[in-house]
């Protein structure tokens, strides 16, 4: 039995889902959404707040300020509520409605940035808003998840060693790339481990994190409109880019088997399956970090009208209501698309 007094004291670390029956490739998902914040961002939020408290920059009179597309904002809202801090989250129109309502329910202020700057995209506009807030009130403390080393240290301290403990013969680890905090923390830890592990970063098409061409991104979570300050590509062995439509199909295919995951998880799974399919590997121990669950995406990823308006026709077996079953279900590999090829020859 566990008894806690603050919500951040609980996080399920040892739950994995075997998705080989769904996609036909050996892959285990480390489920990071089973905590009161609902995502892996709880780890970074807790570490960054604790570091700011230790160095004295965060005091009882401080106002926490952060830019977030959603999940970190919820995590910081929860921690701020438990510790008695005021928190202002700066987000944009891509933030899911459920996420915004959760932050407000926890007592946070949510500032929506309406405009889009020519060069920095929504992220640039959000960061400018954060800077204006900090300039207008010296109580504001900006944790800056994009450059704060406590972001990656959270995963160096927790996520990576837990995976290694569960899978001592791990061969490849797939990690989604947003701020790259999870990616860098895990990659740095496994670089010093007693066996080689391939670190594969999964990013979304339209992100410029790894030098890609900027483009429209409607699903919050992964991807960046600037190069992540935390990123050190020397720790990354390969990069897979995933079309947002493929993110949605992966989410919906998992849902057809009873697993409701979020957009970031759908991107990581789609990229991992593509990478594994390209190598026809059956004997690899492969783990992917699944950052979030799917309830916050019910009005986007799982909403047929939203998907059709943005991405076109939905495969019949993945539309809002599954067709009548005609017999036993076997493995169902995902639809292939014109995604940027994986296995781009990047070596660390």
Burial 182-194 (b: 16+ CB within 10 A, else e): bbbbbbbbbeeee
How far is it, in rounded angstroms, from Cα 56 to Cα 79? Answer: 17
Question: CB-based burial of residue 60 (10 Å sphere; 0-12 exposed, 13-18 middle, 19+ buried)?
Answer: exposed
What confidence tier does 122 reach under pLDDT thresholds 50, 70, 90?
A: confident
pLDDT tens-place string over residues 26-41: 999 999 999 999 999 9
pTM of the model: 0.89
Listed residue (63, 67, 74, 45) closest to 112, CA to CA: 67
CB 27 within 8 A of CB 171: no
pLDDT tens-place string over residues 129-151: 999 999 999 999 999 999 999 99
In this prediction, residue 327 carries a pLDDT of 44
In this prediction, residue 115 carries a pLDDT of 61
Residue 342 clears pLDDT 50, i.e. is over it: no
Residue 282 clears pLDDT 70, i.e. is over it: yes
> Apex CA 304: angle with CA 302 and CA 309, to 5°?
120
In this prediction, residue 300 carries a pLDDT of 94
pLDDT tens-place string over residues 153-199: 999 999 999 999 999 999 999 999 999 999 999 999 999 999 999 99
Fold of 7-31+152-318: Rossmann fold (3.40.50)
What confidence tier does 116 reach under pLDDT thresholds 50, 70, 90?
A: low
CB 90 within 8 A of CB 76: no
Q: Which CATH architecture has domain 41-142?
A: 3-Layer(aba) Sandwich (3.40)
pLDDT tens-place string over residues 2-21: 899 999 999 999 999 999 99
Q: Do domains 7-31+152-318 and 41-142 have the same CATH topology?
A: yes
Task: Considering only residues 340 and 266, tell me which one the structure prediction assigns the higher pLDDT.
Answer: 266
How far is it, in rounded angstroms, from Cα 256 to Cα 252? Answer: 6
* Domain ranges within the chain, ordered by starting residue: 7-31+152-318, 41-142
pLDDT tens-place string over residues 322-334: 555 444 444 444 4
């Amino acid at each position: 039995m566990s008894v806690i007094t603050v919500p951040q004291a609980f996080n399920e670390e040892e739950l994995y889902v075997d998705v080989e029956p769904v996609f036909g490739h050996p892959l285990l998902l480390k489920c990071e959404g089973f905590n009161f914040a609902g995502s892996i961002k709880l780890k970074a939020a807790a570490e960054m707040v604790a570091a700011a408290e230790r160095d004295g920059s965060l005091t009882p009179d401080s106002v926490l300020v952060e830019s977030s597309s959603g999940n970190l904002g919820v995590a910081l809202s929860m921690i701020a509520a438990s510790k008695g801090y005021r928190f202002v989250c700066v987000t944009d129109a891509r933030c899911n409605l459920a996420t915004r309502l959760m932050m407000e329910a926890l007592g946070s202020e949510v500032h929506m940035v309406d405009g889009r700057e020519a060069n920095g995209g929504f992220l640039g506009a959000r960061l400018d808003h954060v800077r204006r807030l900090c300039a207008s009130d010296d109580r504001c403390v900006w944790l800056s998840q994009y450059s704060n080393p406590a972001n990656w240290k959270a995963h160096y301290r927790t996520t990576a060693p837990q995976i290694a403990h569960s899978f001592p013969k791990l061969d490849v680890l797939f990690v989604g790339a947003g701020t790259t905090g999870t990616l860098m923390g895990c990659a740095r830890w496994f670089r010093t481990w007693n066996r080689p592990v391939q670190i594969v970063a999964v990013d979304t098409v339209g992100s410029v994190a790894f030098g890609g061409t900027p483009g429209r991104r409607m699903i919050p979570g992964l991807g960046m409109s600037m190069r992540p300050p935390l990123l050190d590509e020397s720790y990354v062995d390969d990069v897979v880019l995933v079309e947002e439509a493929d993110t949605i199909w992966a989410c919906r295919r998992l849902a057809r088997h009873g697993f409701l995951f979020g957009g970031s998880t759908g991107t990581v799974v789609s990229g991992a399956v593509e990478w594994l399919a390209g190598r026809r590997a059956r004997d690899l121990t492969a783990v992917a970090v699944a950052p979030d669950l799917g309830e916050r995406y019910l009005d986007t990823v799982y909403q047929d009208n939203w998907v059709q308006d943005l991405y076109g026709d939905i495969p019949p077996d993945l539309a809002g209501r599954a067709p009548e079953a005609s017999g036993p279900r076997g493995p169902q590999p995902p639809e292939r698309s014109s995604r940027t090829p994986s296995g781009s020859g990047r070596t660390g």
